[in-house]
Every structure is written in C-alpha cells, then in structure tokens.
Chains A and B, each alone.
Chain A
Amino acid sequence: MSVQVKGTKLFLVMAAVLFFISPLFLSRYAIYVLNLFAIYALVAIGLNLVMGYTGLISAGHAGFLAIGAYSTAILTSVAGWLSPLIILHVAGLLTGLIGFGLGIPILRLKGIYIVMVTLAFGVVITEIILQWSSLTHGDDGFRVPRAVLGGFVFDSDKKLFFLIQPITIVMTLIARNIVQTRVGRAFRAIEQSEIASETMGIDLAKYKTKAFGLSAFYTGIAGGLFAYAMTYISPDSFNMGVSIDFIAMIVIGGMGSILGSIIGAVILTGIQHALSELPKVQTLIFGIALIVFMIFMPKGISGLIMDWKQGGPNRKQSQ
C-alpha cells in the first residue's frame, strides 16, 4: 500500500514537473489552448460550486466571466503598475460581491425561475457593457493591456502560462478543500434536502448567497485571466451561448465534482478548438452531448470514473 502511495506521489511530482516544463517544447498554439483549459476549468469549478454542489442552476455565468474580464481590463489600463495578482483579486472580489447580490433575489425562487433570473442577469450584463461605452468601449471591444509583475511583462502565451496555471492549480486545491469541509458539506446538504439542512442548523439564505458569491469569485478570476489570455475582449465573448457551454461542461464532466469540472472544461474547450472551423457542428455536438449525459450519465464522466474505481475491478468478487 505505502509503495503504491509513494508511486502515486512520485507520478504526481513528475507529472507536475513535466507540465511546467512543457511550454519549452510545446507550440504557441498548444500553450494557448492549455491556458484556456485552465481558465475554463476555473469557470467550471465556480459554476459547479453553485449548481452541482448547492443545486442552484445558473444560466448566466458568462455574465460573471464578463465582469471579471472587464474589471481586469479596465483596472490594468488605468493602473497597469499594479501587480496582476492584486488586479485579479479585485476583479474576483467585485464579481463575487455581485454574485452574492444576485444570490439574494434567488433565495425566494426555485428551479426554472432561478434559471430565468440568472439567464436575464447574463443578458443584462452584456447589454450594460455594450451601452456603457465610455468605460468599456462598447461594441468596439476592449484591448487589454499586458499584465506586468515587478517589471516582468506577460506578453506571450508562454509567459502567461506561468501566471494562469499556478493560479488555477491553487484555486482548484482550495475548492477541493472547501467542498470537503464544513461549508462544502452545507452546500451539498442544501442540494439534497433543504428541510433537513435547516433543521440541522444550516442557514439556507446565508449558504445560498455564499455559494453564489464564491462561484462568482471563481468565475471573476477566470474572467480576468481570460482577458489577459485573449488580449482583446468584446461583449460578444460573453453571450448566452457561452453560459450554456459552461453548463454543458459540468454536466458532461460531472456535477458536484471538482475533477469533473476540469474534465468537462478540457473536453468542451478541446472540441471547440478542434472544430473551430465548424461552429454550427460544435453547437450541435454540445447540444446532443448535453441531452445524452443528462439522461444516461447524470453523474458525468467523473461519475463513471468513480463508479469504476469503487466497484468496477472488484465487482465480480462482491457479487
């Protein structure tokens, strides 16, 4: 057993080392895609916290991504001397605060009504960005200045790799810890039985708004990294279809699973880029995949992996 644990650890360390030297031999495009994987993994984790774990559907997460991206872009253009880590924090906290605020009207709602409110939120945010052109440059889009950390300019995908990947890894570990401790258990409890949760002392209002705030924080940070990676953002980058893609990510990857969030983000972003010439086919594939997974594999790919790990190899013996 301990040999096995040691082996796993060694494997993880080697994988990490390999991962962080990979920009040395990967193409510029491959690094760019890896960065997008990480950014969307953060979005998917964020969405999963509120939707998979707490059971509150959000169909407007592109709105949070937009808030994070635009606040990062604007902050960097007016105060470019600030460390990107500070800028990203501000962007994340601002988005989180707005998410927390959106959580309040949602407290009184259930199911489909939550979908409608969040959907409307996403639409309103892109509309605000479009109209508030003195700040956002509206339809023209926003050219995002390069992030500068202590004189080091993140002016290539390779350099951004070393900003985006560590942040994603740290935030993934934090999310994993959250879902395994008191707050995460409260989220999951709410998803499964509100009545039992509140009679066990869980303040539903507090935890639902917290879930929305935390989810928005993750998505806001992802938005900031997105702005840096894309170098140009426009309201169109955050339309309703993007929110639906995010839902597809966690449904396919696995609701209520951090690993699933990452898997879903990687698969969908991968397909998107593989089929970038055929956007219509993409939408078709996502749509069909969403339906198939919801019906036949509600636990997503991570659910399959878990089932296989728990029962698969030993199933014959136990029966």
Chain B
Amino acid sequence: MPLLSVAKLSIHFGGLAALINCSFDVEQGKIFSLIGPNGAGKTTVFNIINGIYKADRGKILFDGTDITHLAPHNVARLGVARTFQNIELFSKMTVLENVLVGQHIHLCSGILSGGLLLGRVRAEEKLAREEANNIFDFLGLTDYRSHLVSDLPHGIQTRVEMARALAAKPKILLLDEPAGGLNPQETQVLMQLIERIRSDLKITVLLVEHDMAVVMGLSDRICVLHFGQKIAEGSPGEIQKHPRVTEAYLGETVEHA
C-alpha cells in the first residue's frame, strides 16, 4: 500500500480549473517529484494534501487514513510536514524557537502546567532542546541556533524551514521548491540533505522543484503536471524520454540534465 495516495483530485478557483482528475501514489521511502511549468498546480496539490484548500472532487489517503477533509493541524498530527515556496518561517523567533514550534504536536504542556513550569514541563522542554540540537547537527545549523530567523540569509532560512518540518518527525516531508534562490553550491548541499533525510531518517519525500538537475538527480519517480492535468509519470529516465513532457515543459533542459 502506498504511503500517500492521491486519487482523481480536482479543484477550481472561480472559473479556473487548477487541478483536473489528478492521481498519483507515493511509495514509502521514496523521493517522489511533482514537476511542471508555472501554474501547473503543483503547490495546489500540496495545499490540498495539507488541508489548506478543500478539493472539489477526489480523495487523498495517507497512511491508511482518508485525509481529504481534515483540517491542516490534524493532517500535521498524522505525520505530514512541509516547507513553503516563499519561506514561511516565524521570522521574529530564533532558529531554536522555530524548531520548538515544529515539535508542537509532540509536546503536551498547556497553559496551567506551562505557566507553573511543573517538573514534567521542565523535562519536556529540556528534551525538546536536545532533539532540536540533533536536528541542527543533522542539517548543519548548530551555529545559527540562537539567531533570529530574519537575520539569516535565504539559503540558511531554507534549511531552518526543513529543520522545523523535521522537528515534527513526519512520515512524509513535502518540500516546495527547496532549491529556489540557492546558488549551485548550496543546491549540492541541499541534494545531499534530501537524500539523507530519506536514507538516514527514513522519511518519504514529496518534492516540487523547478531545478531539473535536482529533480533528475534525486527522484525515484516523477509526476508531470501541465495545466492541472497529469501528463506523465515514471522514473527520471522515462520522463526525460517522454515525448509529451519534452513538448510541454522540459524542452532543451533535458539535454543538460
């Protein structure tokens, strides 16, 4: 059974059909990419999975649960975490605080227990910081842990957003254009990180990315969207040779990748 199964998803915004009958399955432990020209509906898929948008038709199964109509915070609780195309960090908080918010669903202190700083809250907070440190080690963010997010360069912020998502210990990580705005060197580091998230942390990755080198280099499977419709799915090799894909989107870039 696939970890994430998207079946016949459709959504309209006003008169515009953003997704039409879109279906794909993401297997456990794989890196699965959604690609397509701007406006193809990739981020829309993310937003529907997250529960931010409600699909007009179709169904999403995640880990055996129908999440089609769940509210975003309940989807998160089931093990879905994501990053955003235009970074959505808590910019007035430090890197550490962002990652602690990422652990929200795994912590349990409330107004009263937190306000009185009960023993179990102290223990929980201490443990949360240790876990955050592990994530910082993993992503190479240790030096930045006390920095305000707004003071950090874009490349680091991208990683902080990944750290926050990983802090939720997700089963699947949705990455929305993580290589956007990165220089080639940073992109290399990012690719290694995504690979290690899959191999070391055993987290399935659903990736939206424009950088074809990243997509072709990382993906186990690729799904191509064009004007809200799926036009192809397959391995990187298959996608590169697929006539409709070449025609619709990839064009010459396939040669470089």
User: Which residues on A are within 8 Å of B, measured CB to CB?
Assistant: 174-175, 177-178, 181-186, 188-189, 192-193, 195-204, 210, 214, 256
Contacts and interface: CB of A to CB of B under 8 A. Distances in A.
A182 B89 contact: no
A43 to B, nearest CB: 18
A219 to B, nearest CB: 15
A198 B84 CA distance: 13
Contacts of A184: 114
Given A181-B121, A188-B93, A199 B76 contact: yes
A178 B114 contact: yes
B110 interface: yes
Contact of A201 (B124, B125, B168): B168
A200 B104 CA distance: 7
B101 A186 contact: yes
Nearest to B110: A183
Contacts of B124: 182
B62 to A, nearest CB: 14
A261 B86 CA distance: 33
B12 interface: no
A189 B101 contact: yes
A193 B97 contact: no
Contact of A214 (B72, B91, B100, B111): B111
B90 A198 contact: no
A200 B168 contact: yes
B196 interface: no
Nearest to A256: B92
Contacts of A186: 101, 104
Given A177-B116, A196-B84, 10 more contacts: A181-B117, A185-B93, A185-B101, A188-B90, A192-B91, A193-B88, A195-B84, A195-B88, A196-B89, A197-B101
Contacts of A181: 109, 114-115, 117, 121, 125
B90 A178 contact: no
B88 A198 contact: no
A182 B113 CA distance: 10
Interface string B78-100: 00011010001111110001001
